[in-house]
Structure 1
Amino acid sequence: MLTLVLIAVTVLVSWQAFDKPRLLDRLILWPPAIERQHQYDRLVTHGFIHADWQHLLFNMITLFFFGRQIEPLFAQYLGPAGFALFYVSAIVVAILPTWLRHRHDPRYRSLGASGAVSAVLFAFILLAPWSLIFIPIPVPAILYGAGYVGYSFWMDRQGGDNVNHSAHLSGAIYGVLFMLMMEPRVARVFLEKLTQPSFG
C-alpha cells in the first residue's frame, strides 16, 4: 500500500513540476540553496520530481515491482510506516555524497528518485538474489545488481551524461546496510541462497 502511495505522490508532484518551472526550481537539489539559504527540505523534495516522463516512469515501474515485494518485511520490523521511512531516508542518504561534492557549485542540479529506487532494488536483491529481472531478457537479480554497480561506478568516473550515478551507488549501499541493520539474519539467508541457485 505504501509503495502505491509513494508512487502516486511522486507522479503527482513530478507532473505538476513539468509545467511549473518555479515549482521545479524550488524542489530541485540546488546545493547553494541548501548551503546559503538552509533549505534542507531539498534533500528530500528532489526525489519527488523528474526530468521527463521517461525518467519518471522508469523509476516508478521499478519501485512498483520491487517495493511491493519488500514492503511487508519493513512493516513487520518497523511498523506500518516502515517502508516509507526507509524510502524517504534513502532519498536523503543517496544524495548526500553528491551534495557534499557540489555544495559550492551554483551550476549543479539534481533531481529524481533513482537513489531511493536503487536502495529498494538492492534490498530486494538481498532477499531474492536469484529472482529473474526482465530487462528485457531475464537476468538473475544478483547478476543484474553486480552489473548495475559496475556500470554506475564506471559512469560516475566518466561523467558527462547528466545522470547522477553517485546517487545510484549510494542508494544501493544504503539499501543493503539498512536491511542488514534491520535484520542481521538476512546476511546468512542471502549467502545460503547464493549457494543454491533457484531461478524464478
Structure 2
Amino acid sequence: MSFFSFMQKRLRWSYWNAALLLIAVNIGVFMLTSMNYRLTQYLALNPLLMLRQGMWWQVFTYQFVHGGTGHLLSNMIGLFFFGAMLERHRSFGSSEFLLFYLVSGTLSGIASFFVYWITGTWFVFLMGASGAVFAVLFVYAVVYPRSTIYLMGFVPVPAPLLVIGYAGIEVFSLISGSNSGIAHGTHLFGFGFAWLYCRTRLGIKPLQAWRNM
C-alpha cells in the first residue's frame, strides 16, 4: 500500500457521540484546573517548560485547558454544533472525527510551539480548543458547502463565506499585532491542517467544492 493510499484509508464508520465525549472531557479539565492553577501550568502549552522541563505532552493537552467560562463556552458551542454534524457525515463517523479533531489540535499546538520558539516568545501559555474547533469549522464548510450559519441567531451567512471571513480576520489580527491574548496563529494553523486533511484524506479540493456549491 502506497503512502497516499494509506492516508486516504479512513476508519470504519460508527457513531458513538465523540463530540459530546470531547465536550465532557473539556468541562472536566476546566473544573479541575479551576480548583488547581498549577495544573493549568502543567497542561497548557508553555515553550520554556517544554524545552527546560521536557513537558512535551503540552502540545496535546493544551487543547483541553481554557482560561475562563466564556473561553470554554465559545469553543464548546462550536464543537457541539459543527462537530456533531461533521461526526454524522458519511465520510467521518465517530472514530474518524475523533482522530481528525485530536490530530488537528495537536499539529496546531506543535506549529504554534515552533513559532514561539523561533520568535523567542517564552512566557506565553497557550490554551484552548480553538485550533481544533477552527479545523472542524473548515471541514464542515467543505462537506456541507450549502449550509447556512446564523450569526447571533439571525444573520444568515453561508458556511464557506464564514470560513473565508474568519480567515481574513485572523490574518489581519496577526499582521496588525493585536495584543488581545487570542492565539490567531493557532486558529490559522487549524484552518491550514484542515485544508491538508481535505486534500490528502478526503480527496476534496476545498475551493472547488465551494465554487460548485
CA distance in 2, matches of 1:108, 1:21: 15
Aligned twin of 1:153: 171
Aligned twin of 1:142: 160
CA distance in 2, matches of 1:193, 1:36: 45
**1:87 maps to 2:87:** no
* Residues 130, 194 of structure 1: 8 Å contact kept: no
Q: How does 1:13-52 map to 2 (within 5 A)?
A: 13-52=29-68
**Considering only aligned residues, what root-mean-square deviation do their CA atoms show, in Å?**
1.9
* Residues 160, 210 of structure 2: 8 Å contact kept: no
Cα offset for 1:192? 5.3
Cα offset for 1:193? 5.5
* Residues 48, 113 of structure 1: 8 Å contact kept: yes
* Residues 10, 48 of structure 1: 8 Å contact kept: yes
Contiguous gaps of at least 5 residues in structure 2:
1-16
**1:164 maps to 2:183:** yes
CA distance in 2, matches of 1:168, 1:107: 19
CA distance in 1, matches of 2:61, 2:181: 19
Give CA deviations for 1:133-165 in whole Å, capped at 9, x if unaligned.
Answer: 111111111111111000001111223110000
* Residues 142, 209 of structure 2: 8 Å contact kept: no
**1:194 maps to 2:208:** no
Q: How does 1:127-138 map to 2 (within 5 A)?
A: 127-136=143-152, 137-138=155-156
Give CA deviations for 1:93-143 in whole Å, capped at 9, x if unaligned.
Answer: 112232112235332211000000000000111112231111111111111
Q: How does 1:33-112 map to 2 (within 5 A)?
A: 33-73=49-89, 80-103=94-117, 104-112=120-128
Aligned length: 192
Give CA deviations for 1:29-52 in whole Å, capped at 9, x if unaligned.
Answer: 111111122211100111001011
Query: TM-score normalized by structure 1?
Result: 0.88
| Residues 1:23 and 1:192: Cα distance change in structure 2 (over 3 Å) | closer
| Residues 1:174 and 1:192: Cα distance change in structure 2 (over 3 Å) | closer
Give CA deviations for 1:17-65 in whole Å, capped at 9, x if unaligned.
Answer: 1221011111111111111222111001110010111110110010111
Q: Which residue, out of 179, 194, 200, partners 1:181?
A: 200
Percent identity (aligned): 31
Contiguous gaps of at least 5 residues in structure 1:
none
| Residues 1:194 and 1:8: Cα distance change in structure 2 (over 3 Å) | same
Corresponding letter in the other structure for 2:188: L
Helix, strand or coil at the partner of 2:80: helix
